[in-house]
């Protein structure tokens, strides 16, 4: 079903756009440099240092103010690795963007689109090793800013005789009853579909794995003058796990609480979970614990129009482990889109 929807939407959008007149060609360059040292006694395989740079160069063909085609490449170099670029991910997608709607089809960056997902559902190493979505994404934002909803489908692996068919789909959204009030409701959902290879193995089954969060939030950023940002969230996390033909959905659940405060260049983020342990394939492994607490202390030494550098010291607390820690430095840069050529309408 999802393959048919994907193909229909992609062909419909492309065929309805190619007749439009060309106007501009532009270029964009952005990237991320990171040094992420993790000292995890609770998860020895994840206790390692991630370090490298991701750079993206792409060119855009803007048919008008709404319709765009973007092509380029996203390249990863891990420090000390040979060859220099260990991974080159193509960027090639159609983009439609209006005041209320956004639609992407193809291979496009996930940054700014799904990076707000909780780490329990989508872990933070995706920005290093899987920065692109391969599929479709659409987002609606009401003109008054009180409601936003995003849905996507992301292909992970194409089925061959030996490779499995895998894709994930999900949605996220936020609703504010009052655009100027502090209260809001947010939700996040993700499910990964894992089917077998074309040549089935004995006792192999289709697996579904994912989860959802529903949270109530209070954002006091514009209601007080002490902090630059101040917000609190509380809700529930439910994971979804099923092996078809073997069992039904297992739904471990628990409560989550987040708090964020920033003042000038300093910020603190508190993340807490208590409940049944969850195993979400693309989520943070710490949520497999019945209790987990994370505290991030963030310092932003430089912040310019197109460049941001941050130090983050993270402390992870889980049953029996009270000294797991993480030290991160990231610098991100986005030079914005620059026009290379202009064309008149025919």
pLDDT level of residue 19 (50, 70, 90 thresholds): very low
How far apart (Å, rounded) are the C-alpha atoms in residues 172 and 111? 14
- The 10s digit of each residue's pLDDT in 220-268 is 998 888 999 999 999 999 999 999 888 888 999 999 999 999 999 999 9
Is residue 15 pLDDT above 80, yes or no? no
What CA–CA distance (Å, rounded) separates 139 from 172?
A: 9
Domains contained in the chain, number:
1
Domain range for 64 is: 2-342
In the three-class reduction of DSSP (H, G, I as helix; E, B as strand; rest coil), residue 130 is classed as coil
Average pLDDT over residues 139-145: 95
User: CB under 8 Å to 233, separation ≥6 — which residues?
Assistant: 186, 215, 216, 217, 218, 256, 257, 258, 259
Which 8-state DSSP code applies to residue 200? Answer: P
Candidates 205, 192, 206, 116; CA nearest to 154 is 192
pLDDT at 10: 47
Question: Given this model, what pLDDT does residue 6 score?
Answer: 47
Closest CA to 70 of 22, 110, 104: 104
Q: Calculate mean pLDDT across residues 86-103.
A: 95
Contact 58, 25 (CB under 8 A): no
- CATH number assigned to the domain comprising residue 243: 2.40.160.10
Residue 85 clears pLDDT 80, i.e. is over it: yes
Average pLDDT over residues 2-16: 48
The confidence score (pLDDT) of residue 21 equals 54
Q: Rounded mean pLDDT of 33-58?
A: 94
Q: Is the pLDDT of residue 16 over 50?
A: no
Report whether pLDDT(49) > 50.
yes
Asked whether the beta carbons of 79 and 120 are under 8 A apart, the reply is: no
Residue 193 has pLDDT above 50, yes or no: yes
Give the residue ranges of DSSP H helices in the chain: 2-17, 126-129
For the residues 55-67, what does the mean pLDDT come to?
Answer: 95
Closest CA to 188 of 238, 142, 131, 261: 238
Mean pLDDT estimate for the chain = 91
**272-304 pLDDT, tens per residue?**
999 999 889 999 999 999 999 999 999 999 888
Chain length of the chain: 346
Using one digit for the tens of pLDDT, what is the confidence trace for 295-331? 999 999 988 889 999 999 999 999 999 999 999 999 9
Please choose, from the candidates 263, 265, 342, the residue with its C-alpha nearest in 3D space to the C-alpha of residue 302.
Answer: 265
CA distance 151 to 139: 6
Q: Report helix, strand or coil for 132.
A: strand
Tokens of 320: 């029996």
Mean pLDDT calculated for residue range 80-85: 86
- pLDDT of res. 1: 54
Per-residue tokens: 335: 């030079």
Overall average pLDDT of the 96-120 stretch? 96
Exposed (0-12), middle (13-18) or buried (19+): which is 239, by Cβ within 10 Å? Answer: buried
Is the pLDDT higher at 150 or at 23?
150
In this predicted structure, the answer to whether residue 123 has a pLDDT above a threshold of 90 is yes
Q: For residue 70, what is the DSSP state?
A: E
Residue pair 172/191 in contact by the 8 Å Cβ criterion? no
Strands (E), the chain: 24-39, 49-62, 67-78, 87-97, 101-109, 132-141, 147-157, 165-175, 183-195, 207-219, 229-243, 253-263, 266-275, 291-303, 307-318, 321-342
| pLDDT computed for residue 286 by the predictor | 95
Contact (CB, 8 A) for 230 and 260: yes
């Amino acid at each position: 079903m999802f393959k048919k929807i994907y193909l229909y939407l992609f062909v419909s959008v492309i065929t309805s756009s190619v007749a439009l007149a060309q106007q501009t060609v532009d270029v964009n360059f952005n990237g991320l440099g990171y040094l992420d040292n993790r000292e995890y006694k609770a998860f020895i395989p994840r206790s390692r240092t991630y370090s490298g740079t991701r750079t993206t160069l792409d060119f855009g063909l803007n048919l008008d103010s709404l319709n765009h085609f973007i092509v380029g490449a996203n390249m990863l170099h891990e420090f000390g690795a040979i060859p220099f670029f260990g991974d080159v991910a193509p960027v090639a997608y159609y983009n439609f963007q209006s005041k209320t709607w956004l639609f992407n089809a193809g291979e496009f960056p996930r940054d700014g689109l799904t990076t707000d997902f909780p780490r329990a559902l989508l872990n933070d190493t995706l920005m290093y090793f899987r920065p692109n979505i391969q599929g479709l994404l659409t987002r609606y934002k009401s003109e008054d800013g009180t409601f936003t909803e995003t849905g996507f489908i992301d292909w992970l692996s194409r089925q061959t005789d030996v490779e499995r068919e895998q894709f994930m789909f999900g949605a996220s959204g936020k609703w504010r009853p009052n655009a100027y009030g502090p209260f809001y409701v947010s939700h996040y959902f993700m499910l990964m579909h894992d089917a077998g290879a074309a040549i089935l193995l004995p006792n192999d089954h289709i697996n579904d794995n994912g989860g959802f969060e529903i949270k109530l939030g209070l954002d006091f950023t514009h209601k007080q003058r002490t902090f630059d940002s101040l917000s609190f969230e509380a809700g529930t996390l439910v994971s979804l796990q099923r092996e078809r033909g073997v069992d039904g959905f297992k739904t471990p659940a628990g409560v989550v609480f987040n708090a964020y405060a920033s003042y000038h260049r300093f910020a603190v983020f508190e993340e807490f979970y208590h409940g049944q342990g969850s195993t979400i394939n693309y989520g943070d492994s710490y949520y497999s614990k019945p209790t987990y607490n994370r505290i991030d202390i963030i310092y932003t030494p430089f912040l310019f129009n197109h460049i941001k550098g941050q130090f983050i010291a993270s402390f992870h607390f889980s049953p029996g482990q009270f000294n797991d820690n993480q030290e991160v430095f990231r610098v991100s840069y986005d030079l914005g889109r620059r026009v290379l050529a202009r064309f008149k309408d025919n």
